[in-house]
Structure 1
């Protein structure tokens, strides 16, 4: 690897710092540097939606087929996943990007002093800027349309861990069907209190700083602490709520919709706190 010459190193380091995050005074991009175009962003969103739908389909199909297969071995020949036929899945995607920039130049002045005393004067100023972008998307699927759906997720990750990842959706469904098959609980009926919720959040935080120092005869510029620092915090959150379908067939029953909405509020508050506390 060939390193830059000494004369170009300050500019090289500053370029690396700037590539980590923006200045906090404009709307952040959803994708990472240098994939900033509108087409790049749309490709990422399309890949996430496609991948999540495939994960839902694979999980539902595997759980239902496994239940049917095991029913042949049960004395009762009963299946316990039938209730899913009248259920749906509300899916919410939330993208949160926070970019921060701070600067704190300082000067340490050391004027001539008598031999019996030493006098120094330290001065400094500081400032910061922060920009936050939050985008939310909601989708609704019926379990019936997802079952056996032939699909293939994206082959490219596109800057999100929600793509090409085992989202553990099958574990959620098996966690509800398993106790019913053991006789410890009843399978969900037509009641108004049947809700399953699954949330996944991926957060990536990067930061960088630069501290050039200049020593003069009677003063030192930036003797300590970073002169300039930037940070980029991005969170991709997925919320899936399963529940019985309402009469019109286009949404979940009221209690499931309320649970979905409440989970979104909780997720937003949690993400806000994490972003505030991040460096």
Structure 2
């Protein structure tokens, strides 16, 4: 009985860590905390999932704004060949009439599979066979195996699709309540409440998403090698839109298979997993920067469709 209780406790712990696939999955992890709310300040309860999603969206916005501002406000020093006087020119890599489209997808797949097996054993009398002067005894038995399979998978996808104009992102922040100012942590609504928000997403655990380095490099390549090598008369070179995608996939699985071998009955002796559970988090970010045209919109949509198909296929492959 004690061994059965231990196995049951272990199974429960596996389900708790990996997810059960029988309820609505949460983007947050089991160790993240919901904000309970405060009646005195009329602050409602805030789930850990909402905290994570806000922090991720803020993180992306801040890095994107910093990248665009840097790309459109770097300086170049030039010297006059005659007077030697130095002047500073401000260059702009990204046209101000462009826009930045962002697609953020936070997907969680939870699954559970149960494969019980039971075998009934009946021992029969040994058979005796005589071959001339030699007698051979053969043991006999009868077995009846019963098995069943039950599985469940639950998927949750939260999506955010903000869009910012390059002109807005290029503006220098001057407001005292600028949410991206690291010197003002009180501007974060959760830290203002004295609450450390949930931060279990890989987007929040990474120190740098690499948006600025990518954007500067991509626009530099665009400037050196545009689509139309020979521009139309009186016109400028066509500049391509650029896209950037980051995807984090984290998979955790747990399983348990208790086995009993008795005289009359055996359980789970076939080698199949008795109880398995898994949780897969797929956090995906797509940024497309380009002119406000159908070509840019189609490129952004194609990236979203490709990411969605890949995530769906991955969820099928990781189901226990």
Give the TM-score, by structure 2 length: 0.72
Structure 1's unaligned 5+ residue stretches are 245-251
Residue 139 of structure 2 is aligned to residue 139 of structure 1: no
In structure 2, the partner of 1:128 is 151
In structure 2, the partner of 1:100 is 111
Deviations 1:23-69 (A, max 9, x none): 3233211211144755211111110111111111222233334x42x
Aligned partners of 2:67 and 2:211 also within 8 Å: yes
Return the alpha-carbon distance in structure 1 between the equivalents of residues 268 and 72 of structure 2. Answer: 65
1:112-191 map, 5 Å? 112-113=123-124, 114=126, 115-119=137-141, 120-147=143-170, 148-149=172-173, 151-152=180-181, 158-165=199-206, 166-179=208-221, 183-185=224-226
Aligned partners of 1:93 and 1:136 also within 8 Å: yes
CA-atom RMSD, angstroms? Answer: 3.1
In structure 1, the partner of 2:6 is 9
Aligned partners of 2:107 and 2:282 also within 8 Å: yes
Counterpart secondary structure, 1:57: helix
Q: Which has the higher helix share?
A: 1
Give the TM-score, by structure 1 length: 0.81
Change (3 A) 1:179 1:266: closer
Counterpart secondary structure, 1:225: coil
Residue 302 of structure 2 is aligned to residue 262 of structure 1: yes
Residue 89 of structure 1 deviates from its aligned partner by: 0.7
Return the alpha-carbon distance in structure 2 between the equivalents of residues 55 and 31 of structure 1. Answer: 23
Counterpart secondary structure, 1:83: coil
Counterpart secondary structure, 1:201: strand
Structure 2's unaligned 5+ residue stretches are 35-45, 81-86, 127-136, 183-187, 189-195
Of the two, which has the highest radius of gyration? 2
Return the alpha-carbon distance in structure 1 between the equivalents of residues 79 and 149 of structure 2. Answer: 71
